[in-house]
Amino acid sequence: FLICVAIRANYPLYIRSVPTQGELKFHYTVHTSLDVVEEKISGVGKALADQRELYLGLLYPTEDYKVYGYVTNSKVKFVIVVDSSNTSLRDNEIRSMFRKLHNSFTDVMCNPFYNPGDPIQSKAFDSIVSTMMVQAC
């Protein structure tokens, strides 16, 4: 399973998951992970844009998830939730995924018709995320 979320000011601009069942659980996971992200942001005074990872801190004992976080310079958070059974995903791959997300996100931002804070409806963004998620799974 793989979830990608773009969050701005603590409400999601974009959520995409593969597969689509059990989304609610992932939503909850994502939401709780926000706390951890915030904590990391405030803690580190520099290098805010570093790709940071949340590891297993907030897992249910029964299920394993890896939750990865990433924050841009404008405090837009990206969260990827990955099933732990999917051990094929390495750190580098996650980083590259975040980088792609970030690039696509900036493309969306460049569109003057997009108001920051709106849900992301860009097809290009969708397609990029879809291909990325398909690759990862």
Partner 1 sequence: MDQGSAAGTGGTLISLSDSEQRCYSGLYALCQPDSSGKLAAGKVAELFRASQLPAETLHQVTEVCGAKRLGYFGCGQFYGALKLMAAAQAGLPVRLESIAGELPLPVFVGITNELEMRYPNQPLTNESQSHILGSVTGSAPRPPADRPVLRHPDTSMDKQEVWSPPQSPGISPPRSPSAYRSYPYGAQRNGTDTLLVYEAKVPGLPSVPQENSSPSHYSLRLQPEQPVITRVASVERLVERVEVDYSDDPWRITEEQREYYTIQFRSLQPDLSALIMGTVAKNFFTKSKLPILELSHIWELSDVDKDGALTFPEFCTAFHLIVARKNGYPLPETLPATLRPGFVEAAVVTAPPSEKIGSVDLQMTSRQGVTTKQEARDESRKPAEFSPKRIPEPHEKPTQHVSTLKPDSPQELDANMKSRTRPRSYSSTSIDDAMKKVEEPPTPPPRPQKTHSRASSLDLNKLFQQSGQGSRRSQHSLSAKSGWLPPPPALPPRPPATQIFSFIPGSEKSSQKVVQQPNFADFSKFREEQETSVRGGLSTEDLTPPKLDSTVVHQGHAPQKPVRRKIHPESQSATPPSATPYSAATLTKSTQRPPPKQKREIQMAIRKNRETNAVLTRLNSELQQQLKVVHRERVTLESQLELLRPVAST
Judged by beta carbon, residue 38 or residue 107, the one nearer partner 1 is 107
Residues 22, 101 contacting (CB under 8 angstroms): no
Cα–Cα distance for residue pair 93/98, rounded to 1 Å: 9
Q: Tell the residue number behind the tokens 């951890």, with chain if given.
A: 36
Least CB distance to partner 1 at residue 113 (A): 4
Residues that bind partner 1 (CB under 8 A): 106-107, 110-114, 121-124
The values of phi and psi at residue 31, to 5°, are -65, -40
Judged by beta carbon, residue 36 or residue 109, the one nearer partner 1 is 109
Judged by beta carbon, residue 58 or residue 124, the one nearer partner 1 is 124
Least CB distance to partner 1 at residue 73 (A): 14
Question: Could you give the 3-state DSSP secondary structure of residue 98?
Answer: helix
